[in-house]
Structure formats: structure tokens, C-alpha cells
Chain A
Amino acid sequence: MYGDRMKAQAFTLEGVMASLLLLVVLYSFFQSTIVISPMWSEITDAQLKLIGYDTLKVLDYYRTSSDEIYPNQSLQGMIVHLNSTFKPNQDFIYALERMIYLADYRLELCWANLSTNAVECRALVDKKPTPEAVAASRIVVIDSGEFPASSPFYGRGYPIVFEVRLILWRP
């Protein structure tokens, strides 16, 4: 009779081990960088990116005649009124912050310097973004005659291409 007794502890243990193995594999699978689930943060960044894109588009002022003066609140007005400190005027900052409302931001300006054949960049609003920040940018072209003598772009003699980069994140 002792030979017929079945001590089947191993069945329970095998079932438990198999379950644990499945769970560990699943956990490792999603913790790796190979698989990115759509439920993660990328989908929420689309709204912030749209806000950045729309803000720069609205602030881009299209003149209907060369006699028109760029509003201070526009991208062009902000760039034209920069001096050696590269600090944007208060009207522009007000308009920008009104449109991106509650988001924090960093503002950068890059331009093509034909004298040195290089692209130069400066941070106009120098805040440190978080890892989840998104960026939007817009290209504007301003004629050299628009800049006053106090501007770092005065006297270049050629239209200057600027890239305004707006980096946004949720505080």
C-alpha cells in the first residue's frame, strides 16, 4: 500500500512556480526600454506641444506694409528690441505667459551669422526644463534695416533668419 500513496506536493509547487515565472517575465518585458506602452506620458505631451506651436504662430506678426511697426508683443517686435542683455521686453513676456498659462518655459533664440558661417544661440529666458518638457519652434526673417543701433544685430547688411524655440513643461 505504501507504494500506492502519492505524495504530490510537487504539483502545487510547480503551479506556483509557473505563475511566478509568467509574472516575472511580464514585469521584465514592460520595464525594458524595448516596449513603450501608449498609456505612458507621451500622449499627454501632445497638448503642451500644440500650445507651444500655436503660441508661436499667433505671436508671429505678418506686416502688410513696410511702414507698419512690429508690435512689441510679437516675435519680430521682441527680437528687434533686444539689446546686448538679450532680455525680451515686458510686453512680449506678458503676451507669451498669457497664452501658455500655467506652463513653465524656456525661451531660446538662434540665428544664422553669415560672417562666421555659424548658427549662434542665446537663452532669452533661462530656466531649467524637466525631463518631460516638449519643444516648439518657429522661423522668422527680419530685414537688417529694422534693427536700432542698440541691437546686437544692427548693421549686418543682410536679412537675418531667426529660430525662436519655446520649451514648455508642466510645473
Chain B
Amino acid sequence: MDRKGRLSLDMLIGLSIFLVTFIFIAQFLPTVFADVRSEIGLAHEAYKVTVMLAETEGAWSNGTHNGTNWEDYESQWGDTDFVFLPGLTEGEPDYLEFDKLKALQNATENYYNKVREMLGLLTPDRNYNFHVSLESLDSKPYNRTLVTDRDGNVVLDAGADIPSSGYISRYERNVWVNSVYDLVGAYYIGTAGPRNVPNLCRVNVDDIDCNFTYPLRFFAIEVFGKENDPTNVWWLGVCLQKTGTPSSCNAKPDTIQVGYGSPLTSSNVKWEDTLAVKTYELTTILNNIMRDEGFSDGDTVYIKIGIHNTNATLYYSGTIDYLAGKAVAKLVVYVW
């Protein structure tokens, strides 16, 4: 009897279909749950970094001593026996210290790999890059607005360049910074000496004209006293307009007045107070007036500051928001 062993073509086809399906499922299942380089892993790393930066005050140790003021040991950051966690808070979550922000900028610029290692992004089995910045509340990923300090320098924008493609995880935390006056520009607008004003302002003989954008982020005036003759009257006026520069802004004697339109009269004054040696935080007052007058976000507002016989300083910022008595911004972390 002839026995010819033949391999059936049908069996081969059926077996191939089954094996292809089995291999596909075997490949697919693990990727659903865990992958160190996947988007899920990145999100966890970015979240962890924001917690370490925005919710802890950090720590340092050199093997014999330790503490939380890691920002004071800049000369030792690069030492192999010096380890530090670059937390940014003042001991309370979301309450950041200005000096620590600056220190993180310096540490990341000079010791990027060490900072990565301290944040757990660089270990024997993982290698992530990061970027951290302090941005305005309405900053967008495609149009970032970085917070600047009183000298106009960017406070925090450190790390590797953010790639334009690939898996990137981004987390942001709303924070407030101590102190507000490190983050706002101080401009002398009094009558006692030479004035300096923000870029968007110009000094006239008797007053100052500014073109800002609604809503204002931070606008305050600190009054130090009368210029020369204490028996002479003094006043300070702030006038707002939607179109055209206000013509004049003379306030009533011994008062500070804020109004819409010019000149200031009893019908267009929206807020006033007795002029005294104190700081007038006017951000909310001015924004409320503009809101009531129908301003939309991004509208230009023309402001004239009239001042007479008064020593005063204008505090202004176009990047930090002053909300509920705090200088508020957002800490943005990218990890890839």
C-alpha cells in the first residue's frame, strides 16, 4: 500500500490565519496596560514632577547635614555628595518662593542632568527630559506668556527645548508667589524727581499717558507723601477711556479719584478716597470700571495719571495676576 505523506494546503492556510491572529493579540495585550515610554508613563512622570515642585519646599543633604533651604547652596549643587530636591514652596502647597524659582532656573541651566536625576527623571531604566516655566494664567502652549520680574527678566523658563512633535505630557498648577513686589515693576511717577514709566507709557509735563490691555493684571500706586510744601494741596487722578487719550485728569484737592472719561467731574468719578500715605491697590477697581463700560478681553485702555505735589510709585505688571490679594500664575511642566 502506498503511503504518501501529503501536507494539506487547507491545513496550512487555516493554521496561518490562526497563528497571525494569536500573534496579533499577544502583541496587543501588553501595550494596553503598561509601557514605560508610552503616554501613560509620561503623564505619571509629569504629575510627579509638579507635585515635587509645587507642593514641597524641597530638601538637601550632604551626608552630614540637611535642611530645606537648598537654594542657598548653589556652590554645592554640582558636588557628588550633595543631593537636593528642588521644591519651590514656602512650606505650604502652591505658595511658591521667588528665590527658589530663581534658584531652580540656575540649577537647571547649569546642572540639567543632576536636576533630572533629583526629580527621578534620569535613572538606570528611564531617561526623560523636562521643561518647567512660570507662565501667566492665560498663557497657551502655542503662545506662551512667561512671567517676568520687576526688572523685566523671565523668572522661570528652564530645561530642554520643548519638542514640536512626539509624546509630550504637560501639567500645569495654579500657584501664587511670595512676594508680589518681586514680580512687578516699580516706576516713580511722583512730582519730586525724574519719572520712569513702563514701556507702554509716556511722560508729559503734568501727567502720564499709558496704553494697556484689558484686563489689567496688576496696578497699584504707593503714595509716600507730599512733594515739598506740606501746606499745599495734593491730588492724584486716574482716568480711563476706550478710545483716544484722556485730555486731562485733575482730581479734587486732597483726594485720589478714578473715573471713566476726562476731565474728572462728579458724574464720571467711579471711585475716590482721601489721599494719604498708603498703597492703593487699583487692579480690581479699574477692571470693574472697564467691565461695566463694556470692555472685552484684549481691548486697549487709555489711562491718564494726573498727579500734583505728590511722591508716588506705580507698581505694574503685564504678566502676573493679582487675585484675592495674591500674585497668581501657573507653573507648567513638560515631560517627554
Contacts and interface: CB of A to CB of B under 8 A. Distances in A.
Given A46-B47, A51-B174, A91-B284, A12 B21 contact: no
Interface in A6-40: 6, 8-16, 18-19, 22-23, 26, 30, 37-39
A10 B67 CA distance: 75
Interface stretch (B111-119, B124-132, B265-273, B322-330): B322-330
B15 A99 contact: no
Given A38-B40, A43-B43, A73-B284, A99 B14 contact: no
A38 B6 CA distance: 49
B324 A57 contact: no
B174 A15 contact: no
Contacts of A61: 324-325
Interface in B43-88: 43, 47, 50, 54
B291 interface: yes
B142 interface: no
Q: Taking chain B's interface residues, is the majority helix, strand, or loop, or is none over half, making it mixed?
A: helix
Given A8-B9, A15-B14, 12 more contacts: A11-B8, A11-B14, A23-B25, A50-B50, A54-B175, A58-B176, A58-B324, A58-B328, A61-B324, A90-B291, A95-B324, A99-B137
B325 A98 contact: no
Given A23-B21, A39-B40, A15 B15 contact: yes
Interface of B: 4, 6, 8-11, 13-18, 20-22, 25, 28, 32-34, 39-40, 43, 47, 50, 54, 93-94, 137-138, 171-176, 215, 284, 287-288, 291, 321, 323-326, 328
B321 A15 contact: no
A59 to B, nearest CB: 5
Interface in A53-75: 54-55, 57-59, 61, 71-74
Contacts of A98: 137-138, 215, 321, 323
Contacts, number: 116
A11 B22 CA distance: 16
Contacts of B54: 54
Given A8-B8, A12-B10, A19-B17, A58 B288 contact: no
A2 interface: no
A66 to B, nearest CB: 16
Contacts of B15: 11, 15
Contacts of B21: 18-19, 22-23
Contacts of B6: 6
Given A22-B21, A43-B40, A54 B137 contact: no
B174 A54 contact: yes
Contacts of B9: 8
B91 to A, nearest CB: 13
B187 to A, nearest CB: 24
Contacts of B174: 51, 54-55, 58, 99
A22 B138 contact: no
B14 A58 contact: no
21 contacts: A10-B10, A11-B8, A12-B10, A15-B15, A15-B16, A15-B18, A16-B14, A22-B22, A30-B32, A37-B33, A51-B174, A54-B173, A54-B175, A55-B174, A57-B94, A58-B175, A58-B326, A59-B324, A71-B324, A73-B324, A73-B325
